[in-house]
């Protein structure tokens, strides 16, 4: 996130203090610290010297001491706006944005024209999910300086979080235009613009932004990761090109000096209790979290010791459930990859499981340090590209024996890959809406970035083949952005989908209300090449059949593996014409739609997708088998 630079420290009447400030600004920190301490030795109540010594501690990485010193300075002089400003910076960097907001407000109460505090206030409000407040603060800052790139960046990101994506793209473009050409954080701004472009469905524009960020700063990890996500949405990507992109990623992060014999003293008893570590940012109410929770709930604690290394920004009830299930819990916040790797190695982890590597705040590069004897990629949608990632968990549908996908890991095929909690708390599906409407409604609740032109063209053909049918789209409150709503209507019209056959639902619903919206759909249409997973599960649990296209790689074979586990292979298509035929035949069979509405939830619950205990056993068998091979 963009941060404003701190104000120049106010002068002190003490000549030595002025000398210390000059050393401090010139980067001669040891000399500055010595003078500050001499001043405090003469006058322990010198608040400005305490504040500057605290700032110096902050700049050298000692945040705890910095907080203590600046708090002490504030206790001596409660009207020192700069002290509150520096305290806000420290609190923000420590992941305490609400407290940072309070500190910046105190700074502005004392000195309303302290512009950097106003800019950083918007930044901390953004980090605290106080998006409307961040918008107001950033707009106020821009009234004072319309070209402040940091305030523009904060505003653009807050608008994105509020679903006002079209405006967010324009604001983030302005932020980049107002940055100096050599600005050190320009790559970060380009990454933010790329994300906003991706969310509005401008996949090519997103790719340009991510690539521009990487050209400017090859070490921009977020842009690098987001590029790896974005290309999975784009149709027409060749298997070779995707593999090359991932292998380049792996080569960039390959570590020299990895000692192949570092675990030689580890006990190689093939039957001993294993320490298994799960490394992720998704230990909360998140699709990956919900998939992994049944596994951890059913682990055999006599044979497996569960360690969690969590990159958690905000906890929730699901996080608390993971905390309860972990034998050992380590927060990786504010830890570098090297430090996390050293911690995992010191904990003598036998098997490191890296979850959903490219997504969110996950840490796949920890594996590049060879943190554990066996390292596994799990719930990522393509190869990690890393030499030190040993295995990629999958199944026989995601990767059949003749798969054309390329990967740097060795595949390990589970009997079942995906796992869900049985939908015991889902609302009643109700009858198919076509019974009352007199027409069939097709629907999709996936992210709009997955709905490419190829997808729209095929769905348009389906609507043409099923007279009077409708298309309903929804993803959170995406279509609540009136500009995007109008743009999507125009885009869909270009493919022949008239407005009177289109419903774009708005509203950021709670879980129960969201699930109830499936009652408005007769048939769900799965996008491609990036299939749905959670949306497919939800649709099936609500009695809605899902039509899916059988693809060539993991990312576009999710539909076929989910439907196959339920014995619903007849809903998976081998080509566009077959997809259309399945959708049309379903739409014309009212009795079948009624039957599926009543049957699908029970069929899902009785399938291997919800057989948590057997699923866990299969994963544990995999861990044990891989461990036995390593012991040989």
On the CB side of 490, how many CA atoms lie within 13 Å of its CA? 6
- Tokens representing 258 are 């990895």
In a domain, 183, yes or no: yes
Residues 198 and 303 in one domain: no
In a domain, 72, yes or no: yes
Cα 557 to Cα 548: distance, rounded to the nearest angstrom? 9
Residues 194 and 310 in one domain: no
β-sheet bridge partners, residue 306: 276
In a domain, 142, yes or no: no
- Looking at 234, 264, 283, the residue that finishes a domain is 234
In a domain, 221, yes or no: yes
Give the tens place of pLDDT for each residue, 562-586.
Answer: 999 999 999 999 999 999 999 999 9
Concatenated DSSP letters for 300-346? -TTTEEEEEEE--SS--HHHHHHHHH-SEEEE-TT--HHHHHHHHHH
The pair phi, psi for residue 71, each rounded to 5°, is -60, -40
3-state secondary structure of 454: helix
In a domain, 260, yes or no: no
Residues 322 and 449 in one domain: no
Confidence of residue 3 (pLDDT cuts 50, 70, 90): low
Cα 620 to Cα 300: distance, rounded to the nearest angstrom? 8
Q: Counting beta carbons within 10 angstroms of the beta carbon of residue 50, is it exposed (0 to 12), middle (13 to 18) or buried (19 or more)?
A: buried
Residues 470 and 593 in one domain: yes
Number of H helices, E strands in the chain: 26, 13
Assess whether pLDDT exceeds 60 at residue 511: yes
Domain range enclosing 584: 434-609
- Tokens representing 9 are 């420290």
Confidence of residue 7 (pLDDT cuts 50, 70, 90): very low
Please give the pLDDT value at position 209.
Answer: 97
Cα 279 to Cα 417: distance, rounded to the nearest angstrom? 18
Residues 370/394, Cβ–Cβ less than 8 Å:
no
How many independent structural domains does the chain possess? 4
Q: Is the pTM of this model over 0.85?
A: yes
- Tokens representing 244 are 């090359």
In a domain, 256, yes or no: no
Residues 220 and 173 in one domain: yes
3-state secondary structure of 238: coil
In a domain, 239, yes or no: no
Confidence of residue 12 (pLDDT cuts 50, 70, 90): very low
- Tracing tokens 């056993």 back to the chain, one arrives at 617
Give the tens place of pLDDT for each residue, 114-131.
Answer: 999 999 999 999 999 999
- Looking at 95, 128, 161, the residue that finishes a domain is 128
Cα 536 to Cα 547: distance, rounded to the nearest angstrom? 9
Q: What is the mean pLDDT of the chain?
A: 94
Residues 5 and 111 in one domain: yes
Give the tens place of pLDDT for each residue, 313-338.
Answer: 778 999 999 999 999 999 998 899 99
Residues 557 and 500 in one domain: yes
Residues 358 and 372 in one domain: yes
- Looking at 178, 207, 234, the residue that finishes a domain is 234
Q: Helices 482-494 and 165-177, interaxial angle, to 10°?
A: 100
CB count in 10 Å sphere of residue 363: 21
Residues 498 and 514 in one domain: yes
Q: Counting beta carbons within 10 angstroms of the beta carbon of residue 265, is it exposed (0 to 12), middle (13 to 18) or buried (19 or more)?
A: exposed
What DSSP designation does 148 have?
Answer: -
Residues 395 and 460 in one domain: no
Report in angstroms the alpha-carbon separations of 222 from 139, 195, 228, 270, 360: 26, 10, 10, 39, 9
Which CATH number characterizes residue 119's domain? 1.25.40.10
Residues 624 and 605 in one domain: no
Which CATH number characterizes residue 598's domain? 3.40.50.2000
* Mean pLDDT of all residues in 137-156: 97
Please give the pLDDT value at position 163.
Answer: 87
Assess whether pLDDT exceeds 90 at residue 184: no
Residues 391 and 491 in one domain: no
- Tokens representing 360 are 């969110």
Which CATH number characterizes residue 351's domain? 3.40.50.11380
Residues 600/545, Cβ–Cβ less than 8 Å:
yes
Please give the pLDDT value at position 236.
Answer: 87
In a domain, 243, yes or no: no
């Amino acid at each position: 996130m963009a941060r404003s630079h701190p104000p120049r420290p106010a002068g002190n009447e003490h000549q030595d203090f002025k000398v210390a400030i000059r050393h401090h600004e010139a980067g001669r920190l040891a000399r500055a610290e010595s003078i500050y301490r001499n001043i405090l030795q003469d006058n322990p109540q010198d608040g400005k010297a305490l504040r500057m010594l605290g700032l110096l501690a902050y700049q050298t990485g000692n945040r705890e001491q910095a907080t203590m010193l600046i708090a002490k300075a504030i206790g001596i002089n409660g009207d020192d706006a700069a002290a509150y400003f520096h305290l806000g910076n420290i609190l923000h960097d420590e992941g305490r944005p609400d407290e940072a907001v309070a500190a910046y407000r105190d700074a502005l109460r004392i000195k309303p024209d302290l512009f950097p505090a106003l800019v950083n206030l918007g930044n901390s409000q953004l980090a605290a999910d106080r998006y409307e407040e961040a918008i107001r603060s950033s707009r106020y800052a821009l009234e004072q300086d319309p070209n402040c790139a940091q305030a523009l960046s904060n505003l653009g990101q807050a608008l994105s979080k509020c679903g006002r994506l079209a405006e967010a793209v324009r604001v983030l473009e302005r932020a980049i235009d107002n940055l100096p050409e050599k600005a050190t954080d320009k790559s970060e701004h380009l990454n933010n613009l790329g994300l906003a472009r991706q969310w509005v469905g401008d996949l090519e524009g997103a790719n340009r932004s991510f690539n521009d960020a990487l050209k400017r700063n090859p070490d921009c990890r977020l842009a690098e990761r987001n590029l790896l996500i974005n290309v999975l949405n784009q149709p027409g990507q060749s298997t070779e090109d995707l593999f090359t992109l991932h292998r380049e990623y792996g080569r960039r992060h390959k570590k020299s000096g990895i000692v192949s014999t570092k675990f030689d003293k580890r006990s190689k008893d093939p039957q001993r209790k294993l320490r298994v570590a799960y490394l992720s940012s998704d230990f909360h109410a998140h699709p990956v979290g919900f998939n992994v929770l049944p596994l951890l709930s059913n682990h055999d604690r006599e044979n497996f010791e569960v360690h969690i290394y969590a990159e958690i920004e905000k906890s929730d009830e699901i996080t608390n459930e993971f905390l309860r299930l972990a034998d050992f819990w380590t927060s990786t916040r504010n830890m570098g990859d090297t430090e996390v790797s050293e911690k995992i190695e010191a904990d003598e982890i036998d098997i490191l499981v890296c979850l959903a590597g490219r997504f969110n705040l996950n840490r796949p590069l920890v594996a590049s340090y060879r943190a554990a004897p066996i390292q596994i990629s799990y719930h990522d949608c393509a190869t990690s590209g890393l030499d030190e990632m040993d295995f990629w968990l999958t199944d026989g549908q995601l990767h059949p024996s003749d798969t054309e996908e390329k990967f740097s890991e060795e595949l390990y095929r589970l009997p079942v890959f995906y796992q869900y909690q049985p939908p015991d708390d889902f609302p009643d599906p109700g009858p198919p809406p076509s019974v009352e409407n007199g027409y069939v409604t097709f629907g999709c609740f996936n992210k709009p970035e997955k709905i490419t032109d190829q997808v729209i063209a095929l769905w348009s053909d389906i609507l043409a083949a099923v007279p009077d049918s409708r298309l309903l789209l929804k993803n959170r409150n995406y279509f609540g952005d009136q500009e995007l709503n109008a743009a999507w209507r125009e885009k869909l019209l270009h493919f022949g989908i008239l407005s009177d056959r289109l419903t774009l639902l708005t509203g950021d619903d709670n879980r129960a209300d969201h699930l109830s919206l499936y009652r408005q759909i007769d048939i769900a249409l799965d996008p491609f090449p990036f299939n749905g997973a959670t949306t497919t599960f939800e649709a099936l649990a609500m009695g809605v059949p899902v039509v899916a296209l059988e693809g060539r790689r993991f990312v576009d074979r999710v539909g076929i593996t989910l439907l196959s586990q339920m014995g619903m292979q007849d809903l998976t298509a081998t080509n566009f014409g077959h997809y259309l035929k399945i959708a049309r035949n379903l739409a014309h069979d009212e009795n079948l739609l009624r039957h599926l509405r009543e049957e699908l939830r029970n069929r899902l619950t009785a399938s291997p997708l919800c057989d948590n205990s057997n699923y866990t056993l299969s994963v544990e068998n995999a861990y044990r088998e891989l461990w036995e091979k390593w012991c040989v």
